[in-house]
Structure 1
Amino acid sequence: MAVAGDPPFGGRLPAGVRNRHGQARPAACVIVQLAVDSLAAASLYALVALAVSLAFSGSGTVHLAIGQVAMAGGLTASALVTAGVPIVFAALGGLAVAAVLSGVAERGLIAPALGRPVLGAVLLVAMAVVLREVLQGIFTRPAYAFPSAAGTMHVLGGVIHTADLVTIAVVAVTALLAAALLRSSTIGAALRVTAAAPAAAERIGVDTARVRVAAFAAGGTLAAIAVLLGVGRFPLTAGGGVVLALRGIAAAAAGGMRSPGRVVAAAAVIAAAEVVGGFYLGGGGEFLSDAVAVLLIAAAWRR
């Protein structure tokens, strides 16, 4: 999988791909590679954004600790693999840790501050800082690894990483299953009515406290899935959740927190800035994508 900020072909177009002025221009192989790379990155950011949106729907508070919660799950999975646990069980263990941490955050921080979203957001930031310090004390190496799909294939001359295709497929299936669950299940109905009118939900017998916990736990799980799928893009480190959280929260904010289509579109814009900017600017793609994320948050705040 291409690492974020590392452009395809090492920042150079294939020989002979030049315009009439002698400048490099994208060929079909480059366009295919950039498109798949952008789509894979967008899938990860969209998954984190949907996790933020899910938690927001249940509580009205932006899950600002989502990055560190997800990273805790990823580091746990890495430690379990290193200890010899099979990959599937290690991944499930990591997802469980992220879900529990996120659920505990809702019960311990958000529930007491219910109706005061700013206080809830501040408490989540404090939790993220404390969690990062704890993780840095436990996971002392600069970075950790988790297995990902290996191999490449050639499409129209472009090199496509198998891990990117796996990422796109897993995120698509996860999103479809989540959408079906929210649309056609009693859990989804409870979440929708809780998001729209918590008091009315209580009157008709919905346990809104349980709904909020479930929404936060599910959000933590989705974000941890993004971390495990994106191990080739994001460093699996104790402090590595900040960038992932920034881009996911930006996409969620740009989508108004409750519009999946707009959330995915915003994630695509952030990913395209990262991948295409990285191709032309090298490491500048990281800065460009973060700048776009900040601008999206600022634009959403002004609405």
Structure 2
Amino acid sequence: MNQTFDIHRFVTMIKLDMAERGKNYLGLAALLAVSLLFMLVPIALYREQNGLREALHYMALFMIVLFGSSLYTSSALSQYSASSTGISALMVPASRLEKFLSSLLFNLIFIVTFLIFFTQLHYLTIDIANANMINPNHQYTYINIDYLRYLTYFYFIMHSVVFLGSIYFSKSSYVKTASLFLLTCLFLFVLHIVLVNNFTSYPDKTQTLPWAGWRVWNFHIEGVTVFQQDTEFYHVEFPYGIYILMQVFAVLLAVGFWGVAYLRLKEKQL
């Protein structure tokens, strides 16, 4: 098969993917969207402030946006690695790059659209809830923009890892990829906490995430009243240039995982 990229073959490949997998893609996307609606809309239906309804937005961010959406990506290249469909999928008369870009395009359209859908629905429902609140002094707040930006980078890195796992593992790809990814994240998080505590001489309280600033507290308690307590607080932030470098690194890391997925597809089609 000629491995030169051809735009007409690429368009045909997109149509083929849509015909064969479009219903599955749309079905899963609809299920995830409905799940978001069930978790985000209730806050706008009541006029009293409720912590549980507010917590549903944070739960949706982790359960649906971060991990639920990864189920969609887990099948991105699975047709080339599964024993039941691998041979026939690899024999499709299209170049490796065309097959790869077709799967990547469908995946990017979904994950970008889904993230935008969540953020806009979050802002909309919070605004409606605050506008209808009986007591105007009780107001909900948006998810912290710094954490939302941080989780956006995590979101794309996670999806690029799952995208790679969909072709790297031929069986139980999602379980294996998720297990390795979570263990790696846990290791990095624990290592980060240990380093922060070590650099700050083990303070009473720390609040930090990898690639984020540090919030450090030291409590000096000499009595039982608040007037006999003294608190030292430090907020350590990276220079602006370092934040830019970390963001560039996150983008390159995601692109790198996509690149490895393409190399894995090349190995499959040799």
Q: TM-score range by the shorter chain?
A: 0.3 to 0.5
Q: TM-score, normalised by structure 1?
A: 0.29
RCO comparison, higher one (Cα < 8 Å, 6+): 1
**Structure with greater proportional strand content:** 2
Answer with 1 or 2: which has the greater Rg.
2
Q: TM-score, normalised by structure 2?
A: 0.32
